[in-house]
């Protein structure tokens, strides 16, 4: 395994990197992916995924074939879903969270999964056919430019995906756009505590593994506010462990000490926020196309 840090590239190159990695793991099983939030196909075991992913096995709507073990939370459990809701799942993968959401919204609701990896879309569609659902669909598209009309969703969910998006301002602006006034989101994601060392921050391999693409928790919440959301709440937070053997490949002795003292850290958080019934953003707020 090559642990030499690779330099970050342009936003488009980063998207291609992530797409290639997830394309490669689309047909892997959950057990094959349990050593990393992006799977063994990354060639880099970033974290022990058992410390990140939540156990879905007892959750209504769970389909084992749709669970690749790639998440860092269980956003559907916090999303206040109800029968008849229209739900958009950002970075839907093989359909795990989409099918769990469908179990709540029922036949009168609708779930739209969006993913930019063609093979993941194909796998999700096969899984939907197994379940015989006609109100769950999967669309190929970019989270920074969602293939979803404005004011469609009652709820948006996402699981360990937005940290991989280079332009998080656009991602949350798009989330705001597709939500109905009064709608809300619940997303699980990776954020940072303290300044990530340069060797980690600039590693393209670590980016594909969810870490280098993460930003400071305060900045993450600020972007959500600037997108126009209100009633922002961190519903759950837990620290993610990086194995010493891996960290030592990227960190100096002093940086390792900072990690052990928890002055620097990586966390998974689940965040809830609402789109106001009336747009309360100032005229300078970020909207699609402006950033």
Question: What average pLDDT is seen over the chain?
Answer: 80
The verdict on residue 256 lying in a domain is: yes
What is the distance between the alpha carbons of residues 132 and 285, in angstroms, rounded to a whole number? 42
Q: Is residue 280 part of a domain?
A: no
**Is 73 contained in some domain?**
yes
Q: Is residue 86 part of a domain?
A: yes
Instruction: Quick: pLDDT tens for 75-128.
Output: 999 999 999 999 999 999 999 999 999 999 999 999 999 999 899 999 999 999
Cα Rg of the chain, angstroms: 18
Q: How far apart are CA 98 and CA 90, in angstroms?
A: 9
The pLDDT value recorded for residue 203 is 54
191 assigned to some structural domain: yes
Q: What confidence score (pLDDT) does residue 19 get?
A: 63
Q: What distance in Å separates the CA atoms of residue 47 and residue 35, rounded to the nearest whole number?
A: 6
Query: Is residue 180 included in any domain, yes or no?
Result: yes
What is the distance between the alpha carbons of residues 14 and 205, in angstroms, rounded to a whole number?
Answer: 10
* 146-162 tens-digit pLDDT: 999 999 999 999 998 89
**Which residue ranges in the chain fall short of pLDDT 70?**
1-53, 196-212, 242-243, 245-247, 250, 259-263, 279-291
Domain count, the chain: 1
Neighbours of 234 (CB within 10 A): 14
Residue 105 covered by a domain: yes
Residue 288 included in any domain: no
Question: Which residues form the domain of 155?
Answer: 11-274
Q: Which CATH number do you get for residue 111?
A: 3.40.50.150
CA distances from 130 to 4, 51, 87 (A): 42, 30, 20
Which residues are CB-neighbours of 285 under 8 A, at least 6 positions away?
226, 227, 228
pLDDT the model gives residue 257: 75
């Amino acid at each position: 395994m090559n642990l030499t840090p690779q330099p970050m590239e342009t936003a488009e190159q980063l998207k291609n990197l992530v797409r290639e990695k997830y394309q490669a793991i689309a047909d892997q099983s959950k057990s094959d992916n349990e050593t990393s939030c992006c799977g063994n196909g990354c060639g880099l075991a970033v974290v022990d995924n058992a410390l990140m992913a939540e156990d879905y096995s007892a959750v209504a709507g769970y389909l084992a074939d749709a669970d690749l073990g790639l998440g860092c939370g269980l956003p559907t459990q916090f999303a206040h879903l109800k029968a008849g809701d229209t739900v958009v799942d950002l970075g839907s993968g093989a359909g795990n969270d989409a099918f769990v959401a469908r179990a709540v919204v029922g036949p009168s609701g609708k779930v739209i999964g969006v993913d930019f990896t063609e093979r993941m879309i194909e796998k999700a569609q096969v899984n939907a056919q197994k379940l015989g659902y006609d109100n769950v669909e999967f669309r190929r598209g970019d989270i920074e430019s969602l293939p979803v009309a404005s004011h469609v969703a009652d709820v948006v969910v996402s699981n360990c995906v937005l940290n991989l998006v280079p332009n998080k301002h656009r991602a949350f602006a798009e989330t705001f756009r597709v939500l109905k006034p009064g709608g809300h989101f619940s997303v699980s994601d990776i954020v940072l505590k303290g300044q990530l060392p340069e060797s980690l921050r600039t590693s393209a391999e670590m980016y594909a593994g969810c870490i280098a693409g993460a930003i400071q928790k305060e900045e993450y919440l600020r972007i959500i506010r600037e997108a126009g959301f209100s009633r922002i709440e961190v519903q759950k937070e837990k620290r993610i462990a990086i194995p010493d053997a891996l960290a030592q490949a990227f960190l100096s002795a002093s940086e390792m000490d900072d990690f052990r003292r928890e002055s620097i850290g990586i966390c998974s958080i689940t965040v809830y926020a609402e789109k106001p019934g009336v747009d309360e953003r100032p005229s300078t707020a970020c909207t699609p196309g402006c950033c």
